[in-house]
Chain A
Amino acid sequence: MSGWGGIETPPAAGRPDDIRAVPVRHPGRWVAAALILLFGASLIHSVATNQLLEWHVVGHFLFDQRILEGVVVTLELTVSAMALGVILGVMLAVMRLSPNPLVSGTSWLYIWFFRATPVLVQLLFWFNIAAIYPSISLGLPFVGVEFAHGSANTVITTYVAALLGLGLNEGAYMAEIVRAGIISVGEGQTEAAQSLGMSRLQIMRRIVLPQAMRVIIPPTGNETISMLKTSSLASVIALTELLLAAENIFSVNYKPIQLLIVASIWYAAMTSVLYVGQYYLERHYARGAARELPATPFERIRRGLFSLRREGARS
């Protein structure tokens, strides 16, 4: 059959020959690669051969009891502050989207306040709270009902001060992330759920939030990684987390660089674990968003090996 303008479709007779052509040369790429290799080699050489770095000191303190205890405190603080932040964030985001102006206004004010002041200042504020509220009680205001009572210095320990400072601040940032996730879910989803007779809470919990998660997870992973490192600010209010544990050691042995390297290795290791966790969490909430889930790194390696073996068998 002849096509338009008399162009004949060629008969499908086997595979046509592959094109063999002289490839374009890229001298610039070779020069750039050589420069980077040279620079990298000299950096590694200087770090490895610098006697003043005293790598054995790093090795000696890497699994020191005090450092390990600091790691545990850092992890505890990160997890608890993020948990507080996420819970507050979801509440504030839902409040922010409320039709009641007082409710959404309160959420706005909270977010504004905590984003408008530095987290280090907030940490110092909670640490010194006893100066203005020497005693703290839990009860109903104005009617004199009291459930619990304590001195601020015993209730607000350094850990609690750090948790409040980091967690309350995180809530403000998480609120914006969750809100972005919620409004990213189309109006049609809510309407479809409403037309099926679902309640507002059911729609939020079963329909909107699971879909919002796809938008919420990546920046939340980012926030967690950021929190892991921001938690080092708590060293300023004398909470012995990883950084202060290292500082306590080098204030005695005068090896600050080595102990900062020890702390950095631990921070980097913990961050890397979070990377992996975030990857799998994202994959979980990608269900239904793409036709097929992306391969896990293990699957990719397996596939790579398999295709290598096939190539080998062919040649």
Chain B
Amino acid sequence: MSEPMVKAEGVHKRFGRLEVLKGITLEVQPGEVMVLLGPSGSGKSTFLRCINHLEKINSGRLSVDGELVGYREAGDKLHELREPEIARKRGEIGMVFQHFNLFPHMTALENVTCAPIRVKKIQRDQANARARELLERVGLPDKVASYPAQLSGGQQQRVAIARALAMEPKLMLFDEPTSALDPELVGDVLQAMKQLAGEGMTMIVVTHEMGFAAEVADTVVFMDDGIVVEAGDPDRVLGDPRHERTRAFLSKVL
């Protein structure tokens, strides 16, 4: 078997005295789509943010594509990475946020081209052509010149997906991408994510969309109170949960 894309071993995260992650151990294989489920406050989003080092873990080991997140290992010592190295690694991981976080002072096209031009130093025409392609792929070919405020939530989130894809990431993180959307706008965003999964992108998705989990996920992980309660095939976890907590959660959301 090839090296896992994400490997977490006993990952702990504290905010002050509050322990949010109490030892997370899991693996995500290249091309796998993993859906993280769980009640709010269970640590799903925090774990996602640890993967691209928006949060620093307190103990355990977390690596992406065989390299530790935030540290370099030399002998038996860990060295903190410098900011440019952290930034470079973040650029290889795409992230989509609950509240889109598009740059409001830039058009859809500028949102998508900003990082490739500034970070990857790609020529502007080349970046523009690629951005148009991406915006077409998420179903927004005519919104190139629109500012985020002129777009619906669903359209904004699809621009955000295109923005993340423009950096050609090897891993995509989705932090409740449809939670802030009106119900009738959810479908388009899920469609874009499904398409991406079909193209073989490695994805970790925090969501409450059970239909998406059942249909698209390769693995479903149920988290509660900072630990992984159970993980496995979606049919098995959603259809025949082994733990009481999973059953209780699913009975509320299904």
Known: A191-B54, A195-B93, A196-B167. A288 touches B104 (CB 8 A): yes
Asked whether, in the complex, the Cβ of B149 is within 8 Å of the Cβ of A196, the reply is no
Interface residues on A, range: 20 to 34
Asked whether, in the complex, the Cβ of B97 is within 8 Å of the Cβ of A200, the reply is: no
- Summed over the interface, the residue pairs from A and B with CB atoms below 8 Å come to a total of 79
Asked whether B104 lies within 8 Å of A211 as measured between CB atoms, the reply is yes
Q: Judge whether A118 is part of the interface by a CB distance below 8 angstroms.
A: no
A192 with B90: CB separation less than 8 A: no
CA distance A193 to B54 in the complex (A): 11
Q: Count the B residues whose beta carbon is within 8 Å of the partner chain — how many?
A: 34
B residues 45-84 with Cβ under 8 Å of A? Answer: 52, 54, 83-84
* CB pair B104 A289 closer than 8 Å: yes
Q: Which residues of A contact B103 (CB under 8 A)?
A: 189, 192-193, 207, 211
Does B129 touch A at the CB level, under 8 Å?
no
Question: Does any Cβ of B come within 8 Å of A199's Cβ?
Answer: yes
Chain A 164-189, CB-CB to B under 8 Å as 1, else 0, gives: 00000000000000000000001011
In the assembly, what is the distance between CA of A188 and CA of B148, in Å? 15
Determine whether the beta carbon of A194 is less than 8 Å from that of B104: no
B98 (CB) vs chain A CBs: closest residue: A188
The one of B88, B106, B149 in contact with A197, judged by C-beta atoms closer than 8 angstroms, is B88
Q: Is A206 an interface residue (CB 8 A)?
A: yes
Distance, CA A291 to CA B146, complexed state (A)? 9
List chain B residues, Cβ under 8 A from A194: 54, 87, 90
Residues of A within 8 A of B94 (CB): 195
Please indicate which of the listed interface residues A196, A288, A291 has the most CB atoms of chain B within 10 Å of its own CB: A196
Interface of A is mostly: helix
User: Which residue from chain B places its CB closest to the CB of A290 in the assembled complex?
Assistant: B149
- Kindly state the separation between the CA atoms of A268 and B95 in the bound complex, as whole angstroms: 52
Find out whether the CB atom of B149 lies under 8 angstroms from the CB atom of A288: yes
Check if A219 is an interface residue, CB within 8 A of chain B: no
Whether A197 contacts B104 in the complex (CB less than 8 A), given A202-B119, A290-B149, comes out as no
A residues 79-119 in Cβ contact with B at 8 Å: none
B6 within 8 A of A: no
Q: Is the CB of A198 closer than 8 A to any CB of chain B?
A: yes
The answer to whether A199 and B87 touch across the interface, beta carbons within 8 angstroms, is: yes
Find residues 190-246 in chain A having any chain B CB closer than 8 Å to their own CB. Answer: 191-200, 202, 206-207, 210-211
Among A192, A194, A211, A285, residue most surrounded by chain B Cβ atoms (within 10 Å): A192
Contact A289 B149 (CB under 8 A): yes
Q: Is B154 an interface residue (CB 8 A)?
A: no
- A149 interfacial by beta-carbon distance below 8 Å: no
Partner of B118, one of A191, A200, A206: A206
B101 at the interface (CB under 8 A from A): yes
Q: Using a CB-CB cutoff of 8 Å, which residues 249-300 of chain A contact chain B?
A: 285, 287-291
In the complex, the chain B residue whose C-beta lies closest to that of A287 is B105
Instruction: Give chain B residues whose Cβ lies under 8 Å from the Cβ of A197.
Output: 87-92, 115, 119, 167
Contacts of B238 in A (CB 8 A): none
CA distance A91 to B104 in the complex (A): 25
Known: A287-B147, A288-B148, A290-B149. A196 touches B97 (CB 8 A): no
B114 at the A interface (CB under 8 A) = yes
Interface residue B191 (Cβ < 8 Å from any Cβ of A):
no
**Does B132 make an interface contact (CB < 8 A)?**
no
Q: Which residues of A contact B119 (CB under 8 A)?
A: 196-199, 202
Known: A195-B90, A196-B119. A291 touches B150 (CB 8 A): yes
Checking A200, A206, A285 against B83 with a beta-carbon cut-off of 8 angstroms, the contacting residue is: A200
- Smallest CB-CB separation from B148: which chain A residue? A288
Whether the pair B105, A191 counts as a contact (CB closer than 8 A) is no
Closest beta carbon of chain A to B86's beta carbon, Å: 9
Cα of A288 to Cα of B148 in the assembled complex, Å: 7
Q: Hey, what's the 0/1 contact readout for B127-161 against A, CB within 8 Å counting as 1?
A: 00000000000000000000111100000000010
Chain A residues near B114 (CB-CB < 8 A): 196, 206
Across the interface, which residues of A come within 8 angstroms of B90, CB to CB?
A: 194-197
Distance in angstroms from A191 CB to nearest chain B CB is 6
A192 touches B101 (CB 8 A): yes
Give the Cβ gap from A192 to chain B, nearest Cβ, in Å. Answer: 4
In the complex, the answer to whether A210 meets B87 with C-beta atoms within 8 Å is no
User: For the complex, is B99 an interface residue (Cβ under 8 Å from A)?
Assistant: yes
> What B residues does A210 contact at CB under 8 A?
105
CB-based nearest A residue for B106:
A288
Q: A188 contacts B101, CB within 8 Å?
A: yes
Any A CB within 8 A of the CB of B12: no
Q: Is B163 an interface residue (CB 8 A)?
A: yes
> What is the interface of chain A, defined by CB distance below 8 A to chain B?
186, 188-189, 191-200, 202, 206-207, 210-211, 285, 287-291
Chain B residues within 8 Å of A, Cβ to Cβ: 52, 54, 83-84, 87-95, 97, 99, 101-107, 114-115, 118-119, 147-150, 160, 163-164, 167
7 pairs, CB–CB < 8 Å, chain A vs chain B: A191-B54, A192-B95, A192-B97, A195-B95, A196-B91, A198-B118, A290-B149
Additional A-B contact list (5), CB under 8 Å, known A186-B101, A188-B97, A285-B105: A197-B91, A199-B84, A199-B119, A288-B148, A289-B105
